[in-house]
Structure 1
Amino acid sequence: MRVDVVHNVLKLNDALAGGIRARLRAAGVFCPNLISSPGSGKTTLLEQTLQHFAQEWRQAVVVGDLATSLDAERLAPFAQTVQINTDGGCHLDAAMVSNALEHFDLDEFDVLYIENVGNLVCPVGYDLGHDTKIGLLSVTEGEDKIVKYPRLWREADLVLLTKADLLPHVPFRLERFMDDLRQLNGTVEVIHVSSTSGEGLDAWFEWLRARRATQSATPAT
């Protein structure tokens, strides 16, 4: 009975996510979903991303956190931002995102970023209507997070190894990280990024630009 309940919840979520995806596609809005542990650098990376594309794209952000609006306040100077507080919930779901979309006129935006709740487990199983799923791992967390939390890395369209400037200073086994990742997802692209040194940011921006162009060429269904 418990399994049936879980399946029913996910089925409802997937139906809502399909509606979100259709709305975004019809409006021509590209939607990346960023997932990572707390403190991996999602918000800082989004600050830089929003500024980089400020003259190219009309951007908006949905931020998920258990509490506070601290991350949304950091991003608000650069884009229209909606904060979702889950009050202890470990992930966003499609119903939350659908409600957040009521705060946006989608025809006024080109890109809607979702900064998911900091967690490597719960957010992965919930479709939010996004176009692409991006997993972030900071070198300070250790390479073992690949094998400990495999689903995110198996499903990710891109892996960002953040805080890459610290690689010489932390015991992060890069070769082991890559070997374990390739066992889970043999084709996923990996970009080393540092919001401090700027390493990899151009590659990240180009990946986003190319991915959005691909999505824009796909007809809405």
Structure 2
Amino acid sequence: MKPTIPAIALLALALAACQADRAPDAADGAAPADGVDAMANDPAAPPPLDQPVEDVPPATAPAGVNQFPDLGLVRMDGYGDMRFGMTADEARQAWGGELKGAGDEAATCYYLTPKWVDIPSDFAFMFENGKFVRYDVGTGREIAPGGGKVGMDADEIRGLYAGRVEETPHKYVEGGKYLGVKDISGGEGKLVFATDGDGKVTSWRVGVPPQVDYVEGCS
């Protein structure tokens, strides 16, 4: 009688053959150079931790030359980073760009304007005794604190600033008015709209007293 092979030995031989059949090909079994390559080939893998999940939009470009600044710069205590009471040098630094003279800077009262302003009455900063005290707007492209602007009716202004408007007659325009609005937060700044005889806003200004009430500006 031939000797029989024990069952345990047969089981061991079968397992060895199975493992040999499942051994990976040398090329297929090569590990990737690093974990990033492996994740890049796996659509289910999460993005690297240092990369945003969504595209980040490019930074918003600043307003270009010959454009009025975007909304949000008008204030009852100044304009942009400029604050009433700053010296001309401080105001220029806060503005961050060129401010050109629209009058004799050696005078007690004068205006400075951004370089892209062609007509000073459209947009200008007033300085008196070396301090920033007011800014004037004569165009509908700039909106005053609270929403008023050139071209609006006096009734619209009264509605926007309900209960806060102080009216006085225009010094030079028959039927025209000055519509003054004080800072609702209790600050020193004041907003003044000027209207024509038909009640249309022709200009507005923001500043501190007494300069904000100068009808002729620096004249």
Quick check: which has more Rg, 1 or 2? Answer: 2
Same fold (TM over 0.5): no
Higher strand share: 2
Give the alignment's TM-score, normalised by structure 2.
0.25
Give the alignment's TM-score, normalised by structure 1.
0.25
- If asked which structure has higher relative contact order (CA below 8 Å, sep 6+), I would say 1
